């Protein structure tokens, strides 16, 4: 898949001392791979448990199906699989940072996170590398599939989130949906939309616009918006006619609400489509590290992705067998939209790392003020 002017599949990119690695072609012999797997499986059986903090939208039924498929794949029938769907990403990662700094055992063996939190926790030493992952990964990802980003052998992509415009088709026709992020500041959209209470996805705008120009675009959004609401609650109210649209919404909500027969539409800004990469990591000092490593690798592959997509409506656009991912990619192409990701090239990765600096943190705070998030 082309992203901007380059592909995602470069072999090595080094940023601020972190190596961002994408899987190479595998040449390991089957006995070597099987021997490594058998060792992990044997240790996982001894550990007897796996505690994962994951995406809440998977739900209890999805978590059960996820766990049963994982255990069946490796013959871990007696493993206690616990999948925490309680949410509270900020709280969970603050706790992970605290545990790392104090040298405490991890509360979760494996965790999910979008890339910006992954980078932060890796930098603080809270993530365990999976040794010889290049050899082990084919057990989760068939080489015929496109290779998703992997960070330094420590974080592995299992899902993606494309961000676009969710709208009420009874209040807004497809031809009246804003074409670009700049259009949202037009007077005709004043009072018709809300924004989510975070800057995660609007930060991607600096990959397309100069920073000060992007701030001005966000200030126009702030002047025109009605309120600040979490996406799911906002979309539920939108379907009842309270709002016309939400810009930069996770588009998996479109598929979820469409399945219920709601008047929901989806579109993408032509100038900026953020593609967020969701990753699993193995925590440093995880009580059950071998089980966590097996799970993290398995979760990148088609079997796991299809289960995850079925229950959470969240695809992996890097895998050809992702039904929703394919549909999203088609809609984006039809719109003629520009997809941007922090993994596009060295410069975009530098921009992600910039947000961890004092200057970047101050800029993100300015974006929050522009959007009137507080």
**Structural domains counted in the chain:** 2
Q: Are strands 150-151 and 245-250 parallel, antiparallel or unpaired?
A: unpaired
CB 110 within 8 A of CB 286: yes
pLDDT of residue 147: 54
pLDDT digits (tens, 9 = 90+) for 213-255: 999 999 999 999 999 998 889 999 999 999 999 999 999 999 9
Residue 327 lies in a domain: no
CB 301 within 8 A of CB 321: no
Residue 118 lies in a domain: yes
Phi/psi of residue 305, each to 5°? -60, -40
Q: Are strands 155-168 and 245-250 parallel, antiparallel or unpaired?
A: antiparallel
Among candidates 9, 3, 40, 2, which has minimal Cα distance to 23? 9
pLDDT digits (tens, 9 = 90+) for 84-100: 887 677 788 899 999 99
Residue 79 lies in a domain: yes
The set of residues, in sequence order, having a beta carbon less than 8 Å from that of 276 and lying 6+ positions away, is 114, 115, 160, 161, 162, 163, 200, 201, 341
Q: Which H or E run includes 14?
A: strand 12-15
**Which tokens hold the place of 196?**
């989510």
Mean pLDDT over residues 337-345, rounded? 91
**What band does 175 get if pLDDT is binned at 50, 70 and 90?**
very high
pLDDT of residue 134: 79
Residue 301 lies in a domain: yes
pLDDT digits (tens, 9 = 90+) for 108-120: 999 998 888 888 8
State how far the Cα of 348 lies from the Cα of 346, in Å rounded to an integer.
6
Q: Are strands 150-151 and 18-21 parallel, antiparallel or unpaired?
A: antiparallel
13 and 90 share a domain?
yes
Mean pLDDT over residues 272-283, rounded? 94
Strand partners, 264: 168
Strand partners, 80: 49
123 and 228 share a domain?
no
The set of residues, in sequence order, having a beta carbon less than 8 Å from that of 17 and lying 6+ positions away, is none
pLDDT digits (tens, 9 = 90+) for 285-296: 999 999 999 999
pLDDT of residue 138: 52
The residue among 345 and 358 whose pLDDT is bigger is 358
176 and 133 share a domain?
no
pLDDT at 282 over 80: yes
CB 193 within 8 A of CB 224: yes
Mean pLDDT over residues 323-352, rounded? 91
59 and 187 share a domain?
no
306 and 347 share a domain?
no
140 and 246 share a domain?
no
pLDDT of residue 323: 87
State how far the Cα of 203 lies from the Cα of 64, in Å rounded to an integer.
34
188 and 70 share a domain?
no
110 and 229 share a domain?
no
State how far the Cα of 189 lies from the Cα of 244, in Å rounded to an integer.
9
Give the chain's count of helices (H) and strands (E): 13, 14
CB 99 within 8 A of CB 107: yes
pLDDT of residue 219: 97
180 and 298 share a domain?
no
pLDDT at 32 over 80: yes
pLDDT at 31 over 60: no
The residue among 124 and 12 whose pLDDT is bigger is 124
**What band does 137 get if pLDDT is binned at 50, 70 and 90?**
low
Q: Considering Cα of 145, then 203, then 123, then 114, what sign does the dihedral take?
A: negative
CB 264 within 8 A of CB 239: yes
Residue 323 lies in a domain: no
Here the CATH number for the domain that contains residue 253 is: 3.40.190.10
The residue among 323 and 366 whose pLDDT is bigger is 366
State how far the Cα of 310 lies from the Cα of 3, in Å rounded to an integer.
26
CB 222 within 8 A of CB 292: no
CB 13 within 8 A of CB 350: no
Share of the chain above pLDDT 70, in %: 88
pLDDT of residue 87: 67
Phi/psi of residue 33, each to 5°? -65, -45
Residue 270 lies in a domain: yes
The domain in which residue 134 lies consists of 2-158+277-316
**What band does 141 get if pLDDT is binned at 50, 70 and 90?**
low
Q: Which H or E run includes 217?
A: helix 211-224
Q: Considering Cα of 104, then 352, then 320, then 251, what sign does the dihedral take?
A: positive
Share of the chain above pLDDT 90, in %: 66
115 and 186 share a domain?
no
29 and 105 share a domain?
yes
Residue 324 lies in a domain: no
The set of residues, in sequence order, having a beta carbon less than 8 Å from that of 218 and lying 6+ positions away, is 202, 205, 367, 370, 371
Strand partners, 19: 14
141 and 24 share a domain?
yes
Residue 181 lies in a domain: yes
């Amino acid at each position: 898949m082309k992203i901007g002017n380059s592909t995602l599949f470069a072999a090595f990119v080094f940023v601020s001392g972190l190596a961002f690695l994408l899987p190479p072609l595998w040449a390991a012999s089957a006995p070597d791979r099987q021997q490594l797997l058998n060792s992990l499986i044997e240790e996982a059986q001894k550990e007897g448990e796996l505690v994962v903090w994951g995406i809440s939208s998977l739900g209890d039924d999805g978590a059960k199906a996820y766990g049963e498929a994982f255990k069946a794949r490796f013959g871990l029938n007696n493993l206690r699989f616990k999948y925490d769907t309680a949410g509270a990403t900020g709280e969970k990662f603050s706790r992970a940072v605290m545990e790392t700094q104090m040298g405490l055992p991890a509360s979760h063996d494996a965790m999910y996170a979008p890339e910006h939190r992954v980078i932060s926790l890796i930098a603080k030493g809270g993530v365990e590398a999976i040794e010889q992952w290049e050899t082990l990964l084919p057990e989760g990802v068939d080489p015929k599939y496109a290779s998703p980003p992997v960070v330094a052998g420590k974080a592995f992509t299992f899902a993606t989130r494309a961000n676009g415009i969710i709208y009420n088709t009874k209040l807004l026709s497809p031809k009246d949906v804003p074409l670009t992020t700049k259009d949202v500041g037009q007077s005709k959209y004043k009072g018709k939309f809300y924004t989510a209470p975070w800057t995660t996805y609007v930060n991607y705008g600096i990959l397309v616009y100069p920073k000060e120009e992007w701030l001005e675009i966000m200030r126009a959004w702030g002047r025109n918006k009605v309120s600040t609401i979490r996406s799911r609650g906002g979309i539920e109210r939108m379907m009842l006619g309270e709002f016309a649209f939400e810009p930069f919404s996770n588009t998996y909500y479109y598929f979820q609400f469409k399945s219920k027969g709601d008047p929901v539409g989806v579109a993408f800004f032509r100038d900026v489509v953020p593609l967020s990469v969701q990753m699993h990591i193995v925590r440093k000092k995880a009580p059950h590290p071998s089980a966590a490593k097996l799970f993290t690798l398995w979760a990148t592959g088609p079997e796991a992705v299809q289960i995850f997509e079925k229950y959470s409506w969240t695809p992996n656009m890097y895998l050809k067998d992702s039904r929703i991912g394919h549909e999203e990619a088609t809609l984006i192409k039809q719109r003629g939209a520009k997809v941007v990701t922090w993994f596009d090239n060295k410069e975009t990765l530098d921009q992600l790392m910039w947000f961890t600096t004092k200057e970047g943190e101050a800029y993100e705070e300015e974006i929050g003020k522009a959007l009137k998030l507080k």
